Structure 1
Amino acid sequence: MTRKQLRLTVIAACGLVLALALGLVLFAMRDTIVFFYGPTEIAEKGLAPGSRLRLGGLVEQGSVKRGPGQLVSFAVTDGKSRVDVSYSGLLPDLFREGQGVVTEGVLEGAGRFKADSVLAKHDEKYMPREVADTLKKQGHWQGEAGAAAPAKP
């Protein structure tokens, strides 16, 4: 074998090992990847029940209902569509109607979502870009224009 053939064989073997390692990493991560969606995207894409995802938007006014124990149900909206969410646990202090929220859980189908974690945001400045973009498209974005001006002394 010449030096050139030996070098090409070593490079090909390294490439094969690298491709195999990358394949194994992607295979191991397939169950831990969680995608982010807004209510309109969920309705349009027709995601299969049992899909694990993150749902973000605004807590719809008048939708929060507390059940026995720590059971809470509410609706997340982006102004165009809504998804009903059920959650069992303590809610963050900043959670309230009309505020931004990001939930992570499993889509149950028929517009229902079972959350296992809820993150509340105090305004749109700290929302993920996808949720903010969706709210801007729907005309619900408050951003800098909706922020209160500082008081003058």
Structure 2
Amino acid sequence: MNPRRKSRLMVVIAVGGLIAGAMGLMLYALTDSIDLFYTPSEVIEGKAGQYPKVGQRLRIGGMVVPGTVVRDTTSLAVSFDLVDTGPKVTVNYIGILPDLFREGQGIVATGVLVDKTTINAEEVLAKHDEEYMPPELAEKMKGIKHVSPNQGATTP
């Protein structure tokens, strides 16, 4: 091989290695800010054998359990339970809830896992359309019907 071609090849290999190294470092730096989506069942029972770690940022989606919304009278703190098809997870949030938030409504919360069944949310989003839900949640919720306390009540 010609010495000129050999030096060009070495430069191309070095530049490719530097680019690959920089991309690897960027992806490693982003691992802390990635929000993985979980359902309440996946938080407690694990997702493909992997359990979320305490202190991990995550997004959780499910239905607000009727009768579990507890508001603090002196602050904007709110606590409520989320459920999909199995166990419940408690979400604690300090702030103004969306206008569409209500019991029996589907929501998505972003926050930090405090313990196996508690999440401190930094953001709560209420879904405006019950027809759409993430594919993972829709698959788990097939055949489950959540009834609000006022539905099905008859008046004399």
TM-score of the aligned structures, taking structure 2 as reference length: 0.81
Matched residue, 1:58: 63
1:85 equivalent among 91, 97, 102: 91
C-alpha displacement of 1:95:
0.4
Q: Secondary structure at the match of 1:106?
A: strand
C-alpha distance in structure 2 between counterparts of 1:47 and 1:13, whole Å = 38
Kept in 1: contact 2:44–2:116 (CA 8 A): no
Q: Which residue of 2 aligns with 1:140?
A: 144
- Which deviates more from structure 2 when the two are superposed, residues 82-91 or residues 5-14? 5-14
For residues 136 and 4 of structure 2, what CA distance do their matches in structure 1 show?
53
Match of 1:107 among 97, 113, 135: 113
Query: What is the CA-CA distance between 1:50 and the residue it aligns to?
Result: 1.0
Cα deviation digits, residues 111-150 of structure 1 (max 9, x gap): 11111110001333332222222212xx2279xxxxxxxx
Q: Structure 2: how far apart are the matches of 1:31 and 1:3?
A: 44
Runs of 4+ in 1 over 4 A off after TM superposition: none
Q: Comparing both structures, which one devotes a greater share of its residues to helix?
A: 1
The worse-fitting range, judged by mean Cα deviation, of 126-135 and 14-23 is 126-135
Confirm whether residue 38 of structure 1 aligns to residue 44 of structure 2: no
**1:109 Cα shift?**
0.6
Taking only the aligned residue pairs, the percentage that are identical comes to 47
Amino acid at match of 1:56: G
Amino acid at match of 1:81: P
Instruction: Give per-residue Cα distances to partners, 1:5-42, cap 9 Å, x unaligned.
Output: 23321221121111111022113212211111001111
Equivalent position of 2:152 in the other structure: none
* Partner residue in 2 for 1:147: none
Where does structure 1 lack aligned partners over 5 or more consecutive residues? Answer: 143-153
In 2, distance between residues paired with 1:110 and 1:102? Answer: 18
> Is 1:74 paired with 2:80?
yes
Contact 2:43 2:116 in 1 (8 A): no
The CA distance in 2 between the partners of 1:44 and 1:79, in whole Å, is 12
The two structures, once aligned, show a CA RMSD in angstroms of: 1.8
